[in-house]
Structure 1
Amino acid sequence: MMKSLFGKIFLWFWLTSILLTVASVFIAVFLTGTPVLRQWASNFGDLYSRNVVQSYLLGGDAGLDQFLTSTEQAREIQTTLFGPDGERIRGGALTPFQQGLLEEARASGRTECRIRLAWQCAAVVDTPRGKFVVVGRALHPRRMVRQLPLSAVLTRAMLILLFASGLCFALARYIARPVEVLQHATRRIAAGDLSARAAPALAPRKDELVSLAEEFDVMAARIEALMQSQRQMLGDISHELRSPLTRLRVALELAEGGDAEAMKRMNADLQKLEQLIEQVLTLNRLDAGEKWVELQSTNLETVLSEVVRDANYEGRARNVSVELKAEPLTIKANPALLKSCVENIVRNALRYSPDNGRVEVEERAVSDSTGRVGHPQWVEIRVRDHGPGVPPEALPRLFEPFYRVAESRSEKSGGRGLGLSIAQRAAAVHGGTVEAKNREGGGLEVLVKLPVRS
């Protein structure tokens, strides 16, 4: 048990409670004296004083000397007896402290006791011959302690110890349980169960350990999502590679049979394979961060103009135009990566625009998050189309690799679900963000927000 956190916490609590109990008893008995002990000492002093006076009244000086001698030898109690007239019958001179006890006893008419390192009492004994006063002092307090009712003391001590042990157990369990829950969840994740969570098992609690468990669950959920995304990506890549390879195999057989169109089909499928591999490699490099990215002063209007020019050429077949509204602005960026970011978004808008439609690209500088224009801190690039838009439940997943809103529509349009993922990661490498929302009246608007670095 000592190797576990629970065992260590329990042992420390248990030892601390025992030490506190012992210290409390020591202070109570030897330094202050509790009401129970003072009452016991008063009763003992009253009984002892009556025996002293009785011995004197029945046996005189000889009887008193015999009683006190035996008592001092057995219990080591120093005794002084005063007669009704105040004369000292037996014993030595009193200390100032004992003199104070004597005066208090005479004034109150009852036994007065003080418990310090030594127990001292002054008792008034009323007899037919008058009031005698006995002052006693325990020479060795430990002998007086031995006269306490040990069975009752031990019983109470055991009850206190049992209560303290139960309380220590509960406290140690309360503190160590979150650690045990986290350990169990960690082992499950290590064994491959990525659905393991810790916070639900600690739901009633509200403390730092529960906050740690919640952070652990966030981490576990992120790992689970990444692993699922990785498995899905591998499956999607396999699917994307299988279709062109199958067509290549068929085209090769046709080419061997003398089909002249087979070579064109093979070339088109090879280009698709090359594009897919290039996109996957780009996505992988972007996920690695910005260590490989070199930033330089880039004219944003020039980059956007090139993208719009290429998009207009591509849209001529369906009579879809791309309009640009921009102003000269220089930012710190990687030109090729920035062009890839905007180009993927524009091509996605072009792909889902209806025939004879229009795509709008707008660039503007803003000074802060409120959108006010001034000394530019951010640049916003908005790409709007007039297509069917995206279902609201699909918007959060729009930038996931290989995610396509409608499989059949994406295949018809030639999309593989990688363009928007590349755009988002390219913006992130530049310290920016990409967001998408449906427009009122139809269509999708994608907002790219990039910092203007000096």
Structure 2
Amino acid sequence: MKNRLLWKLFSIIAVGTVIFFWLIDLVASHTEDSMSYIDQGYRAELRAYAKEAERILYEEGESALALWVKGIEEKENTWIAISRPSIENLADTQLSDAYIETFALGRSLEWKIHLYFKYNPTMDIPFEDGVTRFLIQLPQRMRPGKNLFIIDLLLQIALPFLILCLITFILYKHVMKPLKRLEKATRRFSEGDFNVRASEALTQRNDELTRLSTTFDKMADRISTLIIDQRQLLADLSHELRTPLTRLNIAVDCVEQDLQSQSALERLRYESSNMQGLIDDALTLAWFNTESPKLELHDLDITALLQVIVEDAQFEFAQHTVKLLQPDQEIIIKSAHQALTAALENIIRNGLFHTPVGKTVTISLHQESHFLVIKVKDQGCGVPEEYLEDIFKPFFRIKQNSQDNERVVSSKKSGYGLGLALAKRQIHALGGSIYAQNVTDKSENGLVVSIQLPYKSS
């Protein structure tokens, strides 16, 4: 789902808002409901007034009752009436018995009192005869809801504030928790911990922040790989430069002492050219590693290119046989001429270097579904299976007839272990892939380097 975080936040806010209003309404209704009843103590007082009025009426008479009522009215600042209601029916109509039984002139003490009415209600307490009724306007001191203003402030300000704070806290935790982890991972990465990753703790989420963490991890992978590769490249380059520099120093000493000057000058020229090639290859490799360039592609006849490369290789390695197997018709692909040429030359030259004199290196080209396959098969000793991927690493070389990766000093310019590493970067920059495998035929040894290049037939 796109915008998953948006929908999460929308859900939290929407549900939180609904709960917010429902909770406020529930609390307000419950609070007002509980505040709308006359206190039990006040109910007892009102019943006591009615009981006393009934006693005075039947024992002392109406004159005494009038004096008592006047005193209670002044005391409570209200009015009181003792009534026997009579109902006159018109048009030969009658009230039902149920209505007469429940008839009252005022409110029962058990009823709720409306908190927002301006005037206090009249309370109705019947005497024992069921006819005479004690009526009193509820004294102000007995009216429920005395703290209504304070309760309203709490319900309208304090409770919404607390609920909104809770919703905000939930949103903050939901958003900031992964951001803090990302911040921590970024800080550790900036301090040199290149193995730290941010998405490890976010496996249960699947939203924009998870994708942000995944993007950070990809960036961290690339940067850490670049840094490690650059460090390794510098270390390897410094190691590889020691031998030619030593030879240069020896040749310079020979020239200064006029010892074998001609041979020393040739050695100076060779080592200088050798170092120049090494540095150029190392810089090109560093450029491919750091920039990940997108090469400009043009139409290119791959069959003609392979023909030219094979002719050059046959000329350079005259004591070897270079065989080219490819279709007779031209095959046009979108590629970068310089990068593809350099990659193919390095791969073919590497095969020729590891093939004994008199043996054959076979280059074949054929088309598969959506790509071209170029295979370079030599007749060398092959490569131990565990090193088939390592041969594409810079400065990685294996001594022939050996099972370890001991470094050797080659007398040839291309013996520094950069050819296949450069070829891999160049092929990848062209959108292709490259891998190596040993010859599976038991009757012969050798290595097959396979290149796949994207291709759309017209």
1:383 partnered with 2:376: yes
Instruction: Give the Cα separation in 2 of the matches to 1:37 and 1:27.
Output: 12
1:347-366 CA distances to partner (integer Å, 9 max, x unpaired)? 22222334544332222234
Q: Which residue of 2 aligns with 1:305?
A: 307
Q: Which residue of 2 aligns with 1:273?
A: 275
Q: How far 1:26 sits from its partner (Å)? A: 6.6
Gaps of 5+ in 1: 1-12, 74-78, 88-99, 369-377
Q: Which residue of 2 aligns with 1:372?
A: none
Instruction: Give the Cα separation in 2 of the matches to 1:437 and 1:284.
Output: 26
1:450 partnered with 2:454: yes
1:351-405 CA distances to partner (integer Å, 9 max, x unpaired)? 233454433222223443xxxxxxxxx3332223344444444444443333445
1:324 partnered with 2:325: yes
Q: How far 1:281 sits from its partner (Å)? A: 4.0
Report if aligned partners of 2:109, 2:123 keep a CA contact under 8 Å in 1. Answer: yes
Change (3 A) 1:114 1:245: same
1:93-142 CA distances to partner (integer Å, 9 max, x unpaired)? xxxxxxx9x96989x99823265644988877454232667788889999
Higher strand share: 1
Change (3 A) 1:343 1:111: same
Instruction: Give the Cα separation in 2 of the matches to 1:276 and 1:142.
Output: 103
Q: How far 1:258 sits from its partner (Å)? A: 2.7
Q: Which residue of 2 aligns with 1:237?
A: 237
Matched residue of 1:362: which SS?
strand
Change (3 A) 1:52 1:364: farther
Report if aligned partners of 2:432, 2:452 keep a CA contact under 8 Å in 1. Answer: yes
Number of aligned residues: 402
Identity value in percent: 25
Instruction: Give the Cα separation in 2 of the matches to 1:322 and 1:135.
Output: 123
Of 53, 76, 87, the match for 2:50: 53
Matched residue of 1:307: which SS?
helix
Report if aligned partners of 1:122, 1:134 keep a CA contact under 8 Å in 2. Answer: no
Q: How far 1:245 sits from its partner (Å)? A: 1.6
Give the structure-2-normalised TM-score. Answer: 0.68
Instruction: Give the Cα separation in 2 of the matches to 1:226 and 1:60.
Output: 106
CA RMSD of aligned residues (A): 4.9
Gaps of 5+ in 2: 1-12, 57-63, 88-98, 399-404
Matched residue of 1:130: which SS?
coil
Report if aligned partners of 1:286, 1:426 keep a CA contact under 8 Å in 2. Answer: yes
Of 332, 335, 341, the match for 1:333: 335
1:37 partnered with 2:34: yes
1:400 partnered with 2:401: no
The 5-angstrom pairing of residues 339-350 of structure 1 reads: 339-350=341-352
Q: Which residue of 2 aligns with 1:427?
A: 427
Change (3 A) 1:139 1:53: closer
1:295-324 CA distances to partner (integer Å, 9 max, x unpaired)? 43321111101112222334444x454433
1:239-282 CA distances to partner (integer Å, 9 max, x unpaired)? 22222121121123234443243333333222212222332343
Instruction: Give the Cα separation in 2 of the matches to 1:347 and 1:195.
Output: 37
Report if aligned partners of 1:403, 1:417 keep a CA contact under 8 Å in 2. Answer: yes
Q: Which residue of 2 aligns with 1:146?
A: 146
1:415 partnered with 2:415: yes
Which runs of 4 or more aligned residues in structure 1 lie more than 6 Å from their structure 2 counterparts after TM superposition? 79-82, 119-124, 131-143, 157-171
1:129-183 CA distances to partner (integer Å, 9 max, x unpaired)? 32667788889999732369x99xx9xx999999998997687556433322322
